[in-house]
Structure 1
Amino acid sequence: MIKEKEHTEPKSEDTNQGPIIEIIDLHKTFGEDNTILKGVNLTVNKGEDLVILGRSGSGKSVTIKCIVGLIEPDQGEIKVFGENILNLSKEELNEMRVKIGFLFQSGALYDSMSVRENLSFTLRAHKRDLSEEEVESEVIEALESVGLGDAIDKMPSELSGGMRKRIGLARTLILKPEIILYDEPTTGLDTITSREISELILDIKNKQKTASIIITHDMACAKMTADRIMVLKDGVIHAEGTYEELEKDEDEWVRSFFE
């Protein structure tokens, strides 16, 4: 049974200004009969961390890739900052993407570039009027924000999995996005490093007042970061609430995520 609930009041004081992301009746089918999304509805408020849970293949990553235009849905609306991104031109969509950071599972660094070059390349692609000194300052600031200022001259091959995630996050932060989409930010990391990444997600929200969607299988990450949790099942939002509420939910399937 779909458990539609009133939206839970988020923890953050900055979430009372209406949704910064609104998804309405989102559908997506791949091929002839591989239907992934069957009418997803969700909102994210300013300054809120929303965690999306679901089994593998449930459409979690598809949902956030639709938000940045990496996947085009078959039906529905995706409003970001009040604008339906599906109606934007390519140029307008690119302008919108600058405000939306996306942390891929792998960190998605360019292996042939140093850490400095990875971050500089991203910055120059969007802010071409910056001087060399300004670029260097922004790169250092972004690296220090994730605690890796001393890794500036390293190559990706010299970094641990946790460090790659942090550098990927620094590259996202360098454009000072208002929204960050995290796709499995702690996957493949040990318990201590996973906790450090979760703490970093919280720190970024508190300091930069970002809104975030966090796709994760890591329940420790979900418990630490979530203001609100939504659970995807069979292509729709099946349940919604705080970690504590869903942990005690009457639905055995929902509770299974918390065991």
Structure 2
Amino acid sequence: MIQEKTNIVSDKITTKNTPIIEIKDLHKAFGDNEVLKGVNLFVNKGENLVVLGKSGSGKSIAIKCIVGLVIPDKGEINVFDTDITKIDTIELNEIRVRIGFLFQNAALYDSMSVRENLGFTLKRHVKDISEQELEAQIVDVLESVGLAEAIDKMPSELSGGMRKRVGLARTLILKPEIVLYDEPTTGLDTITSREISELILELQKKNKTSSIIITHDMACAKHTGDRVVILKEGVIHAEGSYETLEKSDDEWVRSFFI
């Protein structure tokens, strides 16, 4: 396995070296299709880790394992110093509340307004919240993604970029310590993609979040990633900074940056 070590390293990597996520020897197969064949990776506290790989390489499967949406066949997944493969549903749900997951399509409820989408999520996890506090938190999180004016709109009235922002707001309303982004800029134009990438950085700085960013968008990878890993044939094939991997001696690795 190639390990492209980082020469130019951000302060986050050098000063915050306690992994908040650590995956060891992760395996997952669907029938005869072995997708993950021993993935090992970690995310430091306060770090944005970008995961690259060809379509079907298992990127999304790996992060779904972190929140228990997919059950691995083998391996350890330590989140907040707890191996989630060895805990019951109650304990897993307690950890899930601390993790935000932004799906590719934002996964909004089409029959609910933006306000109702966010309120439904908050009321499910925060008991006995007053209507006044509920409204205040909804407005606050929408302002953080620049969409306060869309509070009464329906998802069908929103552009792709706006839907993505609302999906991010719904993720953030529970104040997660970890955010998992699955193709956050897919289907967006260049300007909107840049805005979403800027938001990811702003939220990392403001909320001190740790993130895994699955993407095919190299501009997003370069802009948001403190560190990059590349999946190939079910394992981590290369790791390092964007700048280091871009100049790799491995032609296959360099092909991502052309």
Same-fold call, TM cutoff 0.5? yes
Q: Which runs of 5+ in 1 are unaligned?
A: none
Paired position in structure 2 for 1:130: 129
Contact 1:10–1:48 under 8 Å retained in 2: no
Distance 1:224 1:43, change over 3 A: same
Paired position in structure 1 for 2:116: 117
Q: Equivalences for 1:175-254 in 2 at 5 Å?
A: 175-254=174-253
Distance 1:65 1:51 in 2: 15
Contact 2:16–2:46 under 8 Å retained in 1: no
Distance 1:15 1:139, change over 3 A: farther
Contact 2:59–2:231 under 8 Å retained in 1: yes
- Aligned amino acid, residue 194 of structure 2: R
Question: What secondary structure is seen at the aligned counterpart in 1 of 2:115?
Answer: helix
Question: What secondary structure is seen at the aligned counterpart in 1 of 2:36?
Answer: strand
Distance 2:138 2:79 in 1: 27
Q: Which runs of 5+ in 2 are unaligned?
A: none
What's the % identity of the aligned pairs? 70
- Aligned amino acid, residue 30 of structure 2: F
Paired position in structure 2 for 1:94: 93
Contact 1:180–1:210 under 8 Å retained in 2: yes
Residues matched between the structures, number: 257
What whole-Å deviation, never above 9, does each CA across 1:6-35 have from its counterpart, x for those lacking one?
57744427852410000000000001x100
Distance 2:128 2:66 in 1: 28
Distance 1:200 1:166 in 2: 9
Distance 2:154 2:11 in 1: 39
Question: What secondary structure is seen at the aligned counterpart in 2 of 1:172?
Answer: helix
- Aligned amino acid, residue 48 of structure 1: E
- Aligned amino acid, residue 64 of structure 1: I
**Runs of 4+ displaced beyond 2 Å:** 4-15
What whole-Å deviation, never above 9, does each CA across 1:205-253 have from its counterpart, x for those lacking one?
0000000000000000000000000000000000000000000000000
Q: TM-score, normalised by structure 1?
A: 0.97
Distance 1:256 1:11, change over 3 A: farther
